């Protein structure tokens, strides 16, 4: 009993001195709590769906960040991993009756294979060459899918998969917990020695090579890890939507992933996740435009022409969703070119000039080495 | 005779798509070379120009040729404005520029979707009728398009290699810092290049519009093929882009006319060839391996 209280006190002490001191850590904790408690706060299947889709794309965007953000190997064809994961798990599930719990990891393994197959030739390429070459792989695959509809379902895709779980809540928790675990794993990977090497590859590959590190091996590792996580998100998507269609491989999917990741801030992992959880609910929220109506009283007191214009304007409003989305991204980027989350983080935290530990920005002295912060 | 028909069809279709990709790729690699901007919105300008022509000829009743000139001028100004206000402030951050251009393309696509709807539209050819060679119908518009495209390519080529501005653009593309030291205003050259690049995209749109159908998503396919052409030919090499564009154009035409289900496979095969070339020659056909950017 005494030892239990001892460990509890120790835990509380760690919690107070490590988590509560930094706003970003508190934010991460609140995010975890929010995701876990969400079904209690908003018990509505529609809201579950938004969060589930956001979680799936959060894994995808974070996996893009793991590859492209950290190693600087710009991958414009991330939809390849997503699509291969989705199609493989869908076909395994449908043809061999493998349950989702096994078919999703198998799909991820297939995505890793795809990553290795394209990674080995692509590693000889640099920068923009690599970006534009990777862009082409999902398009090649889409062409194949359309050309051989007997096997792949063509335009309609593979449908009729088994569900992840029988209830909305079950679906919700399976996807969100997977997301939280995978994102934490990715965060840990990028925090480890591997992450440091990957980061160094982006900054100066030659310097890393001269330090005796086999950069090709690490780049391939990044390709496979990223492919694995993206493949899992693809499998989850296929089983959640119960269909794997060619839309998973579209150029748009690849571009959206890049948008999420850069919008949130690259080489951070938490950035892309945060960006997805800002942008996807924003897109859903913009659906309220469908219900905007102008009250008749206001219309009656307006000049006729202006009234007509307003009515017309409200009619086309629902279709402006993607327009507003893209415009919002453009505007945010103009003011926060490093991404949304790093910008916010720099507002509330400052780095100690002496010991490089982060501090809340209202502190005058560093919390570790007491150096002057300003 | 069926054999001959296919040969002529393949040549015409390959020349048209090859020239389209070549002009687009030229503009794309110009702005990439000078300002290191991967302009995803490049073909979105091409799509916009097509829509401007459509609305000018059908909604306002302007003569098609005047409409083309208007379209090119309007789109060029739009391109320069977008560059000045959206891209130049964040030019130091490559990643931010990248998604800024993606978002810009999406903005254009969505505004056209709002203004014209998602259905297919078409524009009448400038010259009606066709020429019959060995029983194959070749529309005058197709011939005109090929001739205009080749003339434009030649004109831009001459401009780049003979004039002082062209020299400035080429030298900035080779080494930005040294060009700056030699007294070239790098910012101004970037604006000029952006203008020329967008004008070329708009011009392509203007030339091609009678031969294709308009829809707000028409920018995606040329975007992919244009990028593939640039990479295949080798970045930084204008000659390479031309060769790459024509290789891809003819591959597409061959696949469409000779393979069953070719319409689906044409992009796959063309891109597959690009990947094969890159595996053998990572710097592209005519590319030179640049040292690391300083």
Q: Name the one residue in this structure whose structure tokens are 């991404």.
A: A339
Taking 50 as the threshold, does the pLDDT of residue A15 lie above it?
yes
**Residue A329: closest CA among chain B residues belongs to which residue?**
B103
Interchain CB contacts (distance < 8 Å): A and B: 125
Residue of B nearest to A74 (CA): B95
Mean pLDDT of B78-104: 87
Query: Computed from CA positions of residues B185, B187, B193, B195, in that sequence, does the dihedral angle turn out positive or negative?
Result: negative
User: Which residue on chain A is closest to B105 by alpha carbon?
Assistant: A326
For an interface test with B, give the residue of A79, A80, A136, A328 to mutate (most B CBs within 10 A). A136
pTM of the model: 0.87
Average pLDDT in chain B: 84
B267 pLDDT band (50/70/90 cuts)? confident
CA distance A77 to chain B (A): 12
Q: What is the pLDDT of residues B93-141, one digit of tens each?
A: 877 888 889 889 988 998 888 888 778 887 777 667 677 776 667 778 8
Shortest Cα distance from A224 to chain B (angstroms)?
Answer: 20
Does the CB of A132 have a partner CB in chain B at under 8 Å? Answer: yes
A305 in reach of chain B (CB within 8 A): no
Question: How much of chain B, in percent, has pLDDT values that exceed 90?
Answer: 13
Q: Which of A70, A76, A138, A140 to mutate to test the interface with B (most CBs of B within 10 A)?
A: A140
DSSP character for B83? I
Domains and CATH numbers, chain B: 2-280 (1.10.3470)
Mutate to test the interface with A, among B95, B230, B245, B288 (most CBs of A within 10 A): B95
Question: How many angstroms away from the CA of B294 is the closest CA of chain A?
Answer: 11
Is pLDDT above 60 for A306? yes
Question: Please, are residues B72 and B202 in contact by the beta-carbon 8 Å criterion?
Answer: yes
Answer yes or no: do B278 and A125 touch at CB < 8 A. yes
What pLDDT, on the 0 to 100 scale, is given for residue A82?
A: 94
- In the numeric block, which tokens belong to residue B230? 């640039």
The pLDDT score that the predictor gives to residue B93 is 80
Q: B89 and A334 in contact by Cβ < 8 A? A: yes
What confidence tens digit (pLDDT) does each residue in A20-31 have?
888 888 999 999
- Å between A142 CA and nearest CA of chain B: 8
Phi, psi of B260 (to 5 degrees): -70, 140
- CB-count burial class (<10 Å; 0-12, 13-18, 19+) for A203: exposed
Residues from chain A that touch B273, judged by Cβ atoms under 8 A, are: none
Give Cβ neighbours of residue A29 (< 8 Å, ≥ 6 apart).
A19
Residues of chain A positioned with their CB less than 8 A from the CB of B282: 124-125, 129
Rounded to whole angstroms, the Cα distance separating B160 from B29 reads 13
Residue among B159, B233, B228 nearest B197 (CA): B159
Residue B290 binned pLDDT confidence (cut-offs 50, 70, 90) = low
> Do the chains contact at B86 and A334, CB–CB below 8 Å?
yes
Among B100, B235, B279, whose Cβ lies nearest the Cβ of A128? B235
In three-state secondary structure terms, A359 is strand
pLDDT in tens, A63-112: 999 988 888 888 888 999 999 999 999 999 988 888 888 899 999 999 99
A207 touches B: beta carbon within 8 Å = no
- Torsion, CA A250, CA A254, CA A256, CA A259, rounded to 10: -160
Q: How far is A138 from chain B (nearest CA, A)?
A: 9
- On the question of pLDDT at B293 being above 60, the answer is no
């Amino acid at each position: 009993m005494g030892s239990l209280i001892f460990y509890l006190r120790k835990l509380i002490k760690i919690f107070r001195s490590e988590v509560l001191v930094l706003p970003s850590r508190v934010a991460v904790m609140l995010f975890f709590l929010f995701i876990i408690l969400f079904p209690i706060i908003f018990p509505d299947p529609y809201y579950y769906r938004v969060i589930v889709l956001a979680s799936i794309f959060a894994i995808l965007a974070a996996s893009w960040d793991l590859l492209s953000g950290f190693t600087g190997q710009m991958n414009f064809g991330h939809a390849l991993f997503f699509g291969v994961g989705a199609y493989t798990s869908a076909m395994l599930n449908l043809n061999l009756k493998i349950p989702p719990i096994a078919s999703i990891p198998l799909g991820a393994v297939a995505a890793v294979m795809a990553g290795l197959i394209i990674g080995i030739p692509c590693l000889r390429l640099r920068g923009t060459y690599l970006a534009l070459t990777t862009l082409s792989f999902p398009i090649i695959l889409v062409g194949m899918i359309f050309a051989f509809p007997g096997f792949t379902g063509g335009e309609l895709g593979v449908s009729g998969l088994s569900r992840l779980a029988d209830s909305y809540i079950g679906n919700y928790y399976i996807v969100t917990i997977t997301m939280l675990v995978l994102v934490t794993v990715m965060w840990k990977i990028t925090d480890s020695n591997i992450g440091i090497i990957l980061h160094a590859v982006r900054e100066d590959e030659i310097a890393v090579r001269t330090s005796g590190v086999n950069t090709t091996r690490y780049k391939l590792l990044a390709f496979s890890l990223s492919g694995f996580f993206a493949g899992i998100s693809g499998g989850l998507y296929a089983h959640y939507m119960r269909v794997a269609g060619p839309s998973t491989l579209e150029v748009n999917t690849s571009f959206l992933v890049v948008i999420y990741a850069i919008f949130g801030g690259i080489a951070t992992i938490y950035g892309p996740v945060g960006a997805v959880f800002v942008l996807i609910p924003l897109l859903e929220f913009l659906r309220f435009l469908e219900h905007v109506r102008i009250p008749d009283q206001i219309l009656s007191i307006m000049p006729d022409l202006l009234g007509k214009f307003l009515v017309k304007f409200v009619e086309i409003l629902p279709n402006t969703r993607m327009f507003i989305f893209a415009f919002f991204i453009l505007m945010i980027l103009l003011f926060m070119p490093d991404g949304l989350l790093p910008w916010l983080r720099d507002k509330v935290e400052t780095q100690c000039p002496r010991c490089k530990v982060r501090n809340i920005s209202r502190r005058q002295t560093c919390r570790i080495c007491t150096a002057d912060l300003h | 005779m069926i054999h001959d028909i296919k040969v002529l069809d393949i040549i015409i279709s390959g020349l048209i798509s090859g020239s389209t990709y070549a002009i687009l790729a030229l503009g794309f690699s110009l702005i990439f070379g000078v300002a290191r901007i991967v302009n995803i919105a490049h073909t979105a300008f091409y799509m916009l120009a097509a829509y401007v022509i459509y609305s000018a000829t059908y909604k306002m009743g302007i003569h098609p040729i005047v409409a083309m000139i208007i379209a090119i001028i309007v789109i060029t100004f739009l391109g320069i404005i977008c560059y000045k206000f959206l891209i130049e402030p964040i030019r130091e951050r490559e990643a931010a520029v990248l998604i800024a251009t993606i978002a810009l393309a999406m903005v254009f696509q969505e505004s056209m979707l709002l203004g014209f709807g998602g259905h297919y539209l078409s524009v009448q050819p400038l010259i009606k009728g066709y020429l019959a060679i060995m029983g194959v119908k070749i529309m005058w518009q197709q011939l005109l398009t090929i001739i205009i495209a080749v003339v434009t390519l030649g004109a831009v080529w001459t401009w780049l290699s003979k004039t002082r501005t062209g020299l400035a653009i080429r030298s900035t593309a080779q080494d930005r810092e040294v060009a700056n030291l030699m007294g070239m205003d790098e910012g101004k050259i970037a604006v000029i290049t952006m203008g020329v690049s967008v004008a070329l995209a708009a011009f392509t749109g203007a030339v091609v519009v009678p031969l294709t159908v308009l829809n707000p998503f028409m920018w995606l396919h040329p975007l992919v093929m244009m990028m593939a052409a640039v990479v295949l030919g080798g970045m930084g090499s204008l000659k390479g882009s031309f060769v790459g564009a024509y290789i891809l154009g003819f591959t597409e035409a061959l696949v469409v006319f000779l393979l069953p289900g070719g319409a689906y496979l044409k992009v796959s095969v063309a891109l597959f060839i690009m990947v094969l070339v890159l595996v053998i020659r990572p710097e592209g056909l005519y590319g030179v391996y640049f040292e690391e950017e300083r």
